[in-house]
Structure 1
Amino acid sequence: MRAVRISRPGGPEVLVEADLPDPVPAHGEVLIDVAAAGVNRADLHQREGGYPPPPGAPDWPGLEVSGVISALGDGVTDVAVGDRVCALLPGGGYAESAIASVGQLLPVPETIDLVDAAALPEAISTVWSNVFMTAALRAGETLLVHGGSSGIGTMAIQLARAFGCEVAVTAGTAAKLEACGRLGAGILIDYHEQDFVAELLKATDGRGADVILDAIGGDYLDRNIQSLARHGRIVLIGNQSKAPGALNVGRLMAKWGSVHGSALRARPLAEKNEIIASVLANAWPLVASGQVVPVVDERFPLAEARRAHERLESSTHIGKLLLVP
């Protein structure tokens, strides 16, 4: 099979095409003929040498795919060859074929384009596990999403609105904010031109956000605490700023607030299976009904993975970027 490997740590130029042996599913696994693979910031970190795959995972990148099941490992009975699926992976998605654990599969409804479905697994699992399972966002509460036009952000807006929540977002251009507004975000903050703390407090009559989803990190931490409603919850899913954040403990205590850090890829398989099961029961019906949709900015041929990484690094996209074998 064709795949894209990382020849050495570095920039997009280190991504190279390679011919690899066709993978064979083991017990509890399936083989997927890949229709598309999602491109995520974790892939950039892996390419740079800072985010190695978990033990036993393929060393080529790719944390989510969509496609058709082409072979079953021993003990797999709940799915069949020919099923349309998308899946979370510990790695190996940048290829024509990929191995997935059966507990990490999501069925692709006929209403969803199979290629676009590759935009769903990582985003919906990240948002559901952090915003709803960990932070327990409830109807009537306010969610603040930093980077609202990202793949994670566009998913968070849709899920929060579907569950009856108000959504505030930060983004860096008018076009990105307009896209967030079309998805249902009601409080739109340009972080280049506006102080998100002041704008959020003004828009919520001084109350603030009940839950904040933050992939920026750094000095956003203290400003997030200032933005919290009482008993508010901050979930940190990244540190794109690459800067340490200072925690003002007194300010957090005064809000009765909490801060939770999270990463999805490194979780034990059993924990990820629990997340997928919860997604299937609670969020996936919204996908099947069309209330939550994949937001795809651009599809790239697998051979142009370098260009996809360059586009992701530029942060000019809205939604997800996909690689198509």
Structure 2
Amino acid sequence: MGLKVIASIGNSDNLMIDDYYGADFCVDHSSRNFVFEVLQKCRRGVDFVLDCGASNLETHINCCNYGYKVAIVDLGGEGGEKKSISINFFTLGIMQGEIKVINLRSKDFQYKASVIAGLKSDLWPAVLQKKVVPKTDFCFPVSEVRQALDRIKKNDCVGKITVRMDFEKSGGHHKMQ
């Protein structure tokens, strides 16, 4: 889509994954210098932030350029936690920023259908052309769903963790290549 992409990762061991995913560069969001590092790469700041949950909202705003947009998918964040978040509306006003919260769970069928139609027209052609390829890190049999959840909680993965629904003993989980 012609955008410069910054991948935010939670483990500095994974800083080299940007080439695999097509990101222009990665920044460890647990770093004390996250905002500085982002602004070093994008001197004006970023124009758009997409995040799951809003726990890092203030940090993301500090990385932004004038007229930015932030889209938050699912306010619950990691683990479905619900916590209040405060932001400085003065900064929001000066920077002419826009924050949008997207929560599909509470939307009706027609709205969800319109989202799917948009994905089908805007994103699906790139998936078919293999320009967008989801990365699966580990695959567990359904009998080991607890281990899959433990790996997610440890944040010990790069990409998605899937669960095979074959209901057969398959010899355990394996790292995807």
Indicate the TM-score class for this superposition, using the shorter chain for normalisation.
Answer: 0.7 to 0.9
Alignment of 1:1-325 (within 5 A): 163-205=1-43, 207-218=44-55, 220-237=56-73, 238=75, 239-240=77-78, 242-325=82-165
User: Which digits, 9 at most, give the CA deviation of each residue in 1:56-112, with x for residues without a partner?
Assistant: xxxxxxxxxxxxxxxxxxxxxxxxxxxxxxxxxxxxxxxxxxxxxxxxxxxxxxxxx
Cα deviation code 1:195-218 (max 9, x no counterpart) = 22111112112x111111122423
**Structure 2 portions without partners, runs of 5+:** 166-177
Q: When you count helix as a share of all residues, which structure comes out higher?
A: 2
CA RMSD, Structure 1 to Structure 2 (Å): 1.8
Tell me how far apart the structure 1 counterparts of residues 134 and 26 of structure 2 sit (CA, whole Å): 21
Gaps of 5+ in 1: 1-162
Match of 1:210, SS? strand
Residue identity opposite 1:227 in structure 2: C
Identity across matched positions, percent: 26
When Rg is computed on C-alpha atoms for both structures, the one with the higher figure is: 1
CA distance, structure 2, for counterparts of residue 196 and residue 181 of structure 1: 20
Q: Which has the higher contact order (CA 8 A, sep 6+)?
A: 1
> How many residue pairs were aligned?
161
Q: Is the 8 A contact 1:217 1:244 kept in 2?
A: no
What is the deviation of 1:274? Answer: 0.7
CA-to-partner distance for each residue in 1:262-309, whole Å, 9 max, x for gaps?
Answer: 112332111111111111111101111111112101111112111111
Q: Name the SS for the 1:193 alignment partner.
A: coil
1:178, 1:242 → 2: CA distance? 32
- Equivalent residue for 2:169? none
TM-score w.r.t. length of structure 1: 0.47
**1:186 corresponds to which letter in structure 2?**
D
